[in-house]
């Protein structure tokens, strides 16, 4: 099952020990790591994405889901991305894009206090004990949530209602006096814009879902090839 994983630590050293443990678990076959980031909660309430040497390998897979969650964890004062701005390109702090509930964000932010650190990762995980045991031994507090399906379609009833409103306003517009026509036309334009925005967002989510699916497949191929190469070297 694909899950969003957040592990909160008291300091940076623990957070990077957690990152090391995450990849040890992957090497052991317990999980698959699709993407990750280490973030610091600053004293002023912002969150900063930390960057290390191997981030480039996974940075390209930090899509809308992980980027949105990181943005949400930054809270109302926002995200201080700094040198890692490229990791969140195109991502916005949006619950739909993050594919998790607001209760999950609330639970994490109550523990991710200023001067604490978090390991945030999108993983495939069949059972939770390996991660929980390893992270708790380091001093981490584990939060996880199964990723909801990407909303690739709009709410058809909502859009149908909006279109019905547009049709009604157009009918009134045809019979209205000149001074009323301008106000009706403004409302029609605003509603048309909202309909178009919903359709475009749905399309963008479909495209992002397809991109993430392809990216995951490519990552799994790369990991399998690396394992085969290591096995071949061992047998030499």
Confirm if 25 and 31 have CB atoms less than 8 A apart. yes
Compute mean pLDDT per 10 residues along the chain, 236 residues long, and list them: 91 96 92 88 84 49 69 63 40 63 86 94 87 94 78 60 82 84 86 83 74 77 81 74
**Max CA distance (Å), the chain:** 88
Predicted local distance difference test score (pLDDT) of residue 53: 47
Let me know how many helices (H) and strands (E) the chain has, helices first: 8, 5
Residue 207's pLDDT is: 76
Count Cβ atoms within 10 A of the Cβ of residue 215 and give its class: 0-12 exposed, 13-18 middle, 19 or more buried. middle
Residue 96 has a pLDDT of: 66
Q: What element of type H or E holds 114?
A: none
Q: Fill in the DSSP letter of residue 76.
A: T
In Å, what is the CA distance from 193 to each residue of 11, 136, 142, 201? 47, 49, 42, 12
CA 203 to chain centre: 17
What was the pLDDT predicted at 25?
94
For 188-222, give the secondary structure using H, E and C. Answer: HHHHHHHHHHHHHHHHHHHHHHHHHHHHHHHHHHH
Angle at 165 between CA 162 and CA 160, to 5 degrees: 35
Q: Give residues with Cβ within 8 angstroms of 191, minimum separation 6.
A: 162, 165, 166, 169
The pLDDT value recorded for residue 83 is 35
Angle between helices 178-235 and 64-73 (to 10 degrees): 110
Look at residue 183 in the predicted model and tell me its pLDDT. 82
pLDDT, position 166: 86
Helix (H, G, I), strand (E, B) or coil at 157: helix
- pLDDT, residue 223, reads 79
The reported pLDDT for the residue numbered 59 is 45
User: Which spans in 94-177 are helix H?
Assistant: 95-98, 102-111, 129-138, 156-175
User: 3-class DSSP state for residue 3?
Assistant: strand
């Amino acid at each position: 099952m694909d899950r969003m994983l957040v592990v909160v630590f008291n300091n940076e050293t623990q957070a990077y020990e957690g990152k090391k443990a995450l990849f040890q678990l992957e090497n052991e076959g317990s999980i698959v790591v699709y993407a990750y980031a280490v973030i610091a909660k600053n004293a002023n309430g912002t969150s900063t994405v930390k960057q290390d040497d191997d981030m480039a390998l996974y940075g390209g897979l930090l899509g809308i889901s992980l980027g949105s969650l990181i943005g949400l964890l930054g809270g109302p004062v926002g995200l201080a991305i700094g040198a890692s701005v490229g990791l969140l390109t195109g991502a916005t702090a949006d619950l739909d894009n993050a594919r998790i509930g607001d209760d999950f964000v609330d639970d994490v932010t109550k523990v991710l206090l200023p001067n604490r650190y978090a390991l945030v990762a999108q993983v495939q995980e069949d059972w939770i004990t390996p991660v929980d045991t390893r992270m708790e031994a380091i001093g981490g507090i584990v939060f996880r949530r199964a990723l909801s399906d990407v909303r690739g379609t709009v709410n058809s009833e909502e859009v149908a209602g909006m279109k019905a409103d547009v049709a009604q306003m157009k009918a009134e517009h045809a019979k209205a006096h000149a001074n009323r026509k301008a106000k009706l036309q403004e409302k029609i334009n605003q509603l048309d814009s909202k309909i178009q925005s919903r359709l475009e967002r749905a399309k963008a989510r479909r495209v992002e879902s397809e991109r993430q699916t392809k990216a995951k497949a490519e990552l799994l191929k790369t990991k399998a090839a690396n394992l085969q190469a290591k096995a071949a070297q061992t047998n030499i």
